[in-house]
A and B are shown apart, each in its own frame.
Chain A
């Protein structure tokens, strides 16, 4: 069993009212905008399960919108996120999907467009006590929690890419905690997510980018 810290008992520090419906929602959207790696200009939230039923009363909508603007779970601006989003000119919408049953009870899909026109859709699940996981990136099933420093590499599913990534990291003495490759079909777009102990060196993204099959590298620090 992994270590349970006293700050998991007395924590998270959070904007209420619910760790799963408010803090978890903010955490998912916060991670999503980090994965997009640019300011979000337009966002659609599709809510499932319990999120779909009770999102307004738990402030799930405000928390999601706050997270997308880069507010963390203890940022008191979350309460005013509609007004702040309007002032920033952020376009947003919320819709519910109560037909889909094959999802975790607290699930949201976030469709984002950034200032450069970059688009990304992620699916997040709030799994209790403020803990979250990202389970889908565009159409590919992934697993990502944001608890560790991570690098997310978008690449073609070709031989040698994974060893290139690990070499870039080992050359800089990065200790890999987890490394996983996610793909839809053989030879098509794949995502490799590497989570490390401790912060990642700043030049690592540019190094990984040098491989011809790599199209994008995003570093996400916790």
Chain B
């Protein structure tokens, strides 16, 4: 009754039942699993709690990553914000701070929620927690945002890929950013169609992004790209909320992203054999620890 396998059907069901994407996704979850409301609500609240902790803890206590490439970025961003001179403005500044914080936690063996992957885990919480802080949203609103984001991520997992080794960074950071854009659009009062348009916009804007982690580790440039993913999500959401329609529907962009991903050469799909990973400075930082170089 609530199951859908593409964005077109998802939007059709939203209109049929007069539900936002988040509520449709929630009902789909209840329908498709044996778990009841209490169990599902508990799991999603736990996810939000982990996200909040990961987004905030490195600001107070920075942590050096396993391979030493990260540590302290969130605290630096927070310090700039506190001066009142962060040039991107409050929403973007808080979003990128939290996104980078989550990646710092991830890279130092802390607890995170893959969203949809560990390497892209900062974007959805970064975007939602910034919205909460700047616009005073409730935790319940954020939980709805997670279901909305989950719907877009589900479509990517079902019809394309969220694995960097299969589709490059566009499949990880790109999809996470599309998820965040859609969730933000709903939370800011947009319609389901606007949500899908925002997600489509992100996939266009991040199309072709390669996965080229230095040393093969989920650290650098992954953390920078999580910040970029937040900014991309916010830009796309603003376009959608302004009522700008998108020529290319979300389903077609998922398909395009998947096809582009498969044509990205293996050297640029999580193997650390090209891109950022093989720049002279990256290789020097690796001290012979590179996977395969």
Interface residues of A (CB under 8 A from B): 1, 3-19, 22-23, 50, 53-54, 57-59, 62, 74, 76, 78-79, 128-130
Contacts and interface: CB of A to CB of B under 8 A. Distances in A.
A130 B124 CA distance: 19
B118 A57 contact: no
B148 to A, nearest CB: 10
Interface string B209-228: 00000011111000000000
Contact of B216 (A4, A14, A15, A54): A54
A14 B66 contact: no
21 contacts: A3-B33, A4-B158, A5-B29, A5-B33, A9-B153, A9-B179, A12-B114, A13-B50, A15-B111, A16-B105, A16-B118, A17-B65, A17-B66, A17-B106, A17-B107, A17-B217, A18-B218, A59-B109, A62-B109, A129-B114, A129-B162
A9 B218 CA distance: 19
Given A6-B150, A9-B150, A10-B47, A50 B291 contact: yes
Contact of A13 (B46, B108, B150, B162): B46
B33 A10 contact: no
Interface residues of B, number: 51
B243 interface: no
A17 B117 contact: no
B111 A13 contact: yes
Contact of B157 (A8, A18, A59): A8
Given A3-B32, A10-B124, A17 B150 contact: no
Given A9-B150, A9-B154, A53-B291, A16 B106 contact: yes
A23 B118 contact: yes
Given A4-B154, A9-B150, A16-B105, A76 B111 contact: yes
Given A6-B29, A22-B109, A129-B117, 20 more contacts: A1-B5, A6-B44, A6-B147, A6-B154, A10-B124, A10-B149, A14-B111, A14-B112, A15-B109, A16-B108, A16-B218, A17-B66, A17-B109, A23-B118, A53-B216, A54-B217, A57-B215, A58-B217, A62-B109, A129-B114
Contacts of B157: 4, 8-9
Nearest to A53: B291
A201 to B, nearest CB: 18
Interface of B: 5, 25, 28-29, 32-33, 43-44, 46-47, 50, 65-67, 105-119, 121, 124, 146-147, 149-151, 153-154, 157-158, 162-163, 179, 215-219, 289, 291-292
Contacts of B163: 128-129
Contacts of B124: 10
Contacts of A8: 154, 157
A42 B114 CA distance: 32
Contacts of A23: 114, 118
A64 to B, nearest CB: 13
Nearest to A76: B111
B216 A57 contact: yes
